[in-house]
Amino acid sequence: MNSVHIGKLLPRYQRIARFCGTTMAKEQRQSDNKVYFHYNHTDPCKFARWTTRESFEFMHGRPWQEVADFYSNVVNGNLSLLQLFDEVQTHNNLDVAKLSEVCNRTDFEGTLKEDRSGRLERVTFKIVLSYHGCSFDGWQKQPGLNTVQGLVEQCLGRFVDERKAQLLKEKSKPLEGCAAVAGRTDKGVSALQQVCSFYTWRKDIRIQDIEDVINSTAPGKFRAVSISEVSRSFHPNFSAKWRRYLYIFPFNGGENREPSLRCGEEENILTENGHYGGQRDVSDELRWEGDDNNLIVRDDGELQGPKKSSTFTVCKVNRLLQQLEGKLLSYRIFARDTKASRSIGPPTECYMYHARAAEATIPQPHPGAGRTVMCIELVANRFLRRMVRVLVATSIREAAAGAEDDALLKLMDATCRRATAPPAPPEGLCMVNVGYAEFDPRNCIIP
């Protein structure tokens, strides 16, 4: 292109550049002046409740690395999950072997010898996995990301039958198996006994061979807990009757919290300077009751009381969660990233078998006091996307605001998801196990 043409096009490019720069500056000003709207609660605690930003900052300002390190030690077998609950474990007579037996017990292992022939004569393996969530980009396989499913299917590629191997070769696809899972986990979420399945028509595969391949792929981050041959009718997701999740919420030093596991008639409140400020009755809801003329107007137009409390007790969170037990409810308001077609009706209904909270301590590898944490155990027939993390964050927010014990139940009727808090950080969440027999309330971590 000669200099004449360049001279003619240059003013045009300059005009385009000026237009783009003006547009970007305008969008930046609009973004800076954007008003964030919050859900208008109508209960007496509306001015004591954290906004979305305040809840986000409160949940993320935590020593999450200690929780992630603990999960890593549990995955590697250096620590046990139940070491968090020494007092609770003694009270509940629950041990690690019993917890593992609950996950491994299934009604599909006794029907292996079925009369099958031809293409129906396939072999199905049930694989129980343990992995550290912070080392992966979630379960679901995605291009260019280090996911658990991608790693598992890469390992299983060695055991596919010849027909499937040839089909993958013709389509120029990598030699990988196909793994179904009990429940997909997000990035940062760990699992101790995640269940997946894999089937093949090869008859020369040994269980030990599959285990050796999986355990040698990513040592310290990912391992096979157990592998067994099951009936071809077994499906890790559709055959499951319940799932158990545990969320570990770490406390900062000197922070307001409940100092004891025992929930009696009175609770000691730890003030911010580290001294106990007396006692209060648990019926006290810590709500602000004052004159509306004393309300403070924030820069973003948000009305609030003179001060929002950051105090909450584990007992209060426990009472909020217990209201969900034994009820079939629609948790659509606590779900995130769900399709609009699944926002109403049975697809959003879950039955909560067990929902409890208790104080615990993360064990330290060296002598000394461990990090004090709050553990939340949730067991339900199914969970929606990010439902556990939203439930945890919302229950903490409601406890700090001094809401009524049935506050979570009342939120079920809300029509806007701004009524609930943003999801809690994924580093605290762990899928403990999956059950394929009827749920036994005696096999709970937190009684």
Q: Which residues pair with 21 in a beta bridge?
A: none
Q: Pairing between strand 349-362 and 123-131?
A: unpaired
The Cβ-side half-sphere exposure at 428, using a 13 Å CA radius, reads 27
107 catalytically annotated: no
Q: Which residue, chain included where needed, has tokens 């990090």? A: 371
| DSSP structure class, residue 295 | P
CA separation for the pair 348, 37 (Å, rounded)? 26
30: tokens are 């609009």
Q: How far is the C-alpha of 433 from the C-alpha of 420, rounded, in Å? A: 27
Per the CB < 8 A criterion, the answer to whether 257 and 313 are in contact is yes
Residue 402 Ramachandran class (φ > 0 left, ψ -120 to 50 alpha, else beta): left
Query: How large is the angle between the packed helices 314-322 and 387-401, nearest 10 degrees?
Result: 120
Q: What is the DSSP string of 353-366?
A: EEEEEEEEEEPPSS
Give the strand pairing for 266-270 and 276-281: antiparallel
Catalytic residue among 86, 186, 281, 406: 186
Cross-strand pairs, 345 = none
For residue 134, give the DSSP letter.
G
| Residues annotated as part of the active site | 186
